Amino acid sequence: MPWTSANRIYAKPSNSSSGEGSIGTNNARVALTAAADSGGRFELSDHGYGKDSVKLLHVHRDGNYHTIREFEVSTELKLTSETAYVLGDNKEVVATDSQKNTVYLLAKKHGVKTPEEFGALVVNHFLYMYKQVVEAKCRVVEYPWERLQAETPHNHAFLFSPTATRWAEISQKRHEAVVVKSGLSGLRVLKTTQSAFVDFVQDEYTTLSDAAERIFSTVVEAEWIYDNMRTADFDNAWLTVKDAILDKFAGPPDVGIYSPSVQHTLYQAEKCVLEKVAEVNITVFLWHEI
């Protein structure tokens, strides 16, 4: 099967010597059972479970002209009660197979416009349908396909083009606003000049020499959080972030742009994103040098 189930559970030493009430639940039976199991020494600090890697291929047909978007969706739910963990009581558990089916049904009914909007639809559905769910999360990864072109764009054939992978993580707690985080990964870039690294700390631990001229090759990871998803243009924002990174890395085609350090280039790209994408309130970039 292309999908897998996942459980996330964290335990910590209890602050209570008696064990009763230390589990953080209103169910006294759960607390007493947990105390008996652990001698009152441990409690659950966090937990969640869900379905990983649910594959979606959304095909839009406009006559003979077809458009595709491919996604991989993962879900996670946190329940009010801990009885499934402590007692093995599954009465409140929404099966991971049901979570998978929900993803398929929502995609079939509503389509998938963007990873962010579909993820928000999924988490809202789980909170609305199941009162025992206190938090829902959804991660959506989009596979990059582009239309095959010879002399003209092909009607229904596509080429996998992994320039960068787009992803979104959407989470919502009951009675709280939805949180939408987007990102890109695997954006691998290289330039053969207009890069240097000099005048850094030189001491007994240093073996690296100053490099006034060097090759700059790196893999970019970026993530950002939206301040208001109602007004956000998610597709445009993602493309703007990617273009801003490439612009501040490469510069004009004929002369390029000088980079005195990875840190400086990173900062310039972050500033450019925040200036161009009004909906973003946090942005983080990680540059892995090769």
pLDDT in tens, 254-275: 999 999 999 999 999 999 999 9
Residue 272 CB neighbours (<10 A): 17
Q: What is the DSSP letter of 211?
A: B
Return d(Cα 37, Cα 28) in angstroms, integer.
14
At 286, is the pLDDT very low, low, confident or very high (cuts 50, 70, 90)? Answer: confident
Q: Which two tokens stand for residue 238?
A: 């993602």
pLDDT for 43 beyond 90: no
**In this prediction, what percent of the chain has a pLDDT beyond 70?**
86
At 44, is the pLDDT very low, low, confident or very high (cuts 50, 70, 90)? Answer: confident
CATH number, domain 179-290: 3.10.270.10
Which of 43, 105, 102 lies closest to 77 in space, CA to CA? 102
Q: Which tens digit of pLDDT belongs to each residue from 232-243? A: 999 999 999 999
For residue 15, the model assigns a pLDDT of 61
Residue spans of the domains in the chain: they are 1-7+47-177, 179-290
Integer CA distances (angstroms), 263 to 197, 212, 220, 260, 289, in order: 10, 16, 12, 8, 11
Return d(Cα 45, Cα 11) in angstroms, integer.
5
For residue 188, the model assigns a pLDDT of 95
**In this prediction, what percent of the chain has a pLDDT beyond 90?**
75
CATH number, domain 1-7+47-177: 3.10.270.10
Mean pLDDT check: name the lowest of 32-36, 101-105, 158-162: 32-36
Integer CA distances (angstroms), 68 to 73, 100, 111, 124, 145, in order: 16, 21, 11, 25, 8
